[in-house]
Amino acid sequence: MDAPLFPLFADLNGRAVLVVGGGTVAARKVEALLDAGARPRVGAPRLVPALQALADAGRIDWLRGAFSPRWLDSGIWLVVAATDAAAVNRAVADAADARRLFVNVVDDARLSRFHVPAVVERGPLRIAISTGGAAPMVARHVRRRLETLFDSAWGQLTELIGRRRDGIRAHFTDLAARRRFFDHLLDGPVLDLLRRRRPAEAEAALQQAMADTPPAAAGSVVLVGAGAGNPDQLTLAALRALNQADVILHDRLVGAGVLRLARRDAERIAVGKSARGPSTSQEQIHALMLEHARAGRRVVRLKGGDAFVFGRGGEELQFLRAHGIAYEVIPGITAALACAAHAGIPLTHRDHAQQLRLVTAHCRDSLDTLDWPALAAPRQTLVFYMGVAALARIQARLLEAGLPAATPFALVENGSRSDQRVVSGTLRQLADSALRHDVRSPALLILGDVAALATDLHWFGAAPLPAADDAPSPSLPTPPTTLADAA
């Protein structure tokens, strides 16, 4: 796979651009170049009437005749080959390459040194879309979507801000304050006023937004749940927080795909805790939050799943509150929900489970303090977090407490991600199955009759892997009566 194209907007104002070809395709290119203020020179033996008219009006220069490489030698900045003869187009591309001039060959991505993107134009706002020549249809489709997302008011807004730019910069010398002003502005009524064709009121609203935005930054922390690793699970609120962040303190479970969606120049600090490799202590995390918030930055504390489900979010808020730092909490999709959904396991089901327990199996202490008889009760679903290392002990304790050995389980490894694996079986096979399939963290254990539904309801990634021994895999517990007997 070739390296991707470098996106670029070129200033062609007053610059000579050679267009080889005199047909309708060349005419379209010439028109776009004229719009950008370029001075097209069109080389061709004949011109279609539209080009002829432009030549007659003195808006383009006509180089009459067959292509000659000399056409590229007189102050040309850019070259477009738009003839219908492949050999001529290739000759133009070769001549341009030899002179290190950027060339676009119409409909030939391979010969082109620059591509012309699909564009959404809203006054000075231009959104360019490219697929690197791979799939122009996709680019056109994306453009149609953007056309509906960004109406003409966006062009007027861009124009308005452009006109007031110097004033805004002078008013907000601090970059963070300026960013807050723009967020405030774009959330406010300006766009709507422009849509309603009230430019004077829009100006006034902009003036008001400048007055409203406090000049000194007050730092804050947003506790954000990032979901189980698949970026599609971010909420709109999480995405907004990521776009406004100055600093992101993120856990190890937060994947690269999520971090890529954050504001480009936000500082990213990994503060993961892990059994292996370097870890950051909870005290160090607290100290980092405090340091950056006190420096007036917007800190996003980004956690896997939800911050309040086995995420120590509570401790972090208590610390922030004790130190007078403002905070917000944005919920995320916790691993139990993400894994269940992507494994096809309804956590509750009128026929099988009326309650759901989220359990941590993190440390030996927690295994000892758990209420095992309650966990062995019928008609419920158990979800164990952080349990990979403790599966044998979980299995033993549950059997001891009286949970039937035939209770179905599903182990979901890397749930909702492209490398998701699901292992299913019954309680007596649990530890052996995990060993056989080498199940690793992060993985979630779902126990209860609903776990067997994965065999039929799975839809994401591969089908569940079978348990350790050759015993028939747990059949779908359809008639509820049989199930009640089993429990």
Q: Assign 279 to helix, strand or coil.
A: coil
Among 415, 425, 464, 466, binds ligand SAH (CB under 6 A): 415
Tell me how far apart the alpha carbons of residues 16 and 8 are, in angstroms, rounded to a whole number. Answer: 18
Task: Using the rule CB under 6 A, give the single segment among 139-147, 286-294, 408-416, 463-471 that binds ligand SAH.
Answer: 408-416
Q: How many CB atoms lie within 10 A of CB 444?
A: 27
Contact pick of 442, 448, 464, 474 for ligand SAH (by CB under 6 A): 442
8-16, 90-98, 287-295, 333-341 -> range binding ligand SAH (CB under 6 A): 333-341
Q: Which two tokens stand for residue 212?
A: 């409203």
Q: Pick the catalytic residue from 29, 246, 251, 306.
A: 251
Q: How far is the CB of 253 from ligand SAH (least distance, A)?
A: 5
How many Cβ atoms are within 10 Å of 47's Cβ, its own excluded? Answer: 22
Residue for token pair 């967020």? 183
Across the strands, what pairs with 64? 44
Within 293-322, the residues that bind ligand SAH by CB under 6 A are 303-306, 309-311
Rounded distance between C-alpha atoms, residue 280 and residue 46, angstroms: 72
Peptide bond into 442 cis (omega under 30): yes
Q: Which is nearer to ligand SAH, 158 or 360 (CB)?
A: 360
Tell which one of 444, 450, 451, 453 touches ligand SAH (CB under 6 A): 444
Q: Is 303 a catalytic residue?
A: no
Q: Looking at 325, 386, 410, 423, which residue binds ligand SAH (CB under 6 A)?
A: 386
Rounded CA separation 190/259 (Å): 31
Identify which of 300, 319, 295 has the alpha carbon closest to the alpha carbon of residue 222: 300
Q: How far is the CB of 79 from ligand SAH (least distance, A)?
A: 51
Q: What is the total count of residues that contact ligand SAH (CB under 6 A)?
A: 24
Which C-beta is closer to ligand SAH: that of 193 or that of 258? Answer: 258
Q: Decide: is 477 part of the binding site for ligand SAH (CB under 6 A).
A: no
Please report how close the Cβ of residue 415 comes to ligand SAH at its closest, in angstroms.
Answer: 3
- Of 202-210, 320-328, 410-418, 461-469, the window that binds ligand SAH (rule: CB under 6 A) is 410-418
Give the binding range for ligand SAH (CB under 6 A) out of 135-143, 157-165, 343-351, 437-445.
437-445
Q: Which residues, 258 to 287, sit near ligand SAH by CB under 6 A?
A: none
385 binds ligand SAH, rule: CB under 6 A? yes
Catalytic residue among 61, 97, 183, 273: 273
In the complex, the smallest distance separating the C-beta of residue 164 from ligand SAH, rounded to whole angstroms, is 44
Could you give phi then psi for residue 100, rounded to 5 degrees? 55, 40
Which of 317, 347, 298, 308 is CA-nearest to residue 453? Answer: 347
Is-catalytic flag, 273?
Answer: yes
DSSP of 397-455: HHHHTT--TT-EEEEEESTTSTT-EEEEEEGGGHHHHHHHTT--SSEEEEESGGGGGHH
Residue with smallest beta-carbon separation from ligand SAH: 305
Nearer to ligand SAH by C-beta: 282 or 441? 441
- Which amino acid would we find at residue 277? G
Angle at 234 between CA 144 and CA 256, to 5 degrees: 95
Minimum Å gap between C-beta 178 and ligand SAH is 34
Q: Where does 166-246 show beta strands of DSSP type E?
A: 220-225
Residue whose C-alpha is closest to residue 54's, from 65, 69, 68, 44: 44
* Span 215-254, contacts to ligand SAH by CB under 6 A: 228-229, 253
Query: Which two three-digit tokens encode residue 3?
Result: 């390296």
Measure the CA–CA gap between 302 and 244, rounded to whole angstroms.
Answer: 13
Contact 383, 446 (CB under 8 A): yes
The residues binding ligand SAH (CB under 6 A) are: 228-229, 253, 303-306, 309-311, 334-335, 339, 385-386, 412, 414-417, 441-444
The residues that are catalytic are 251, 273
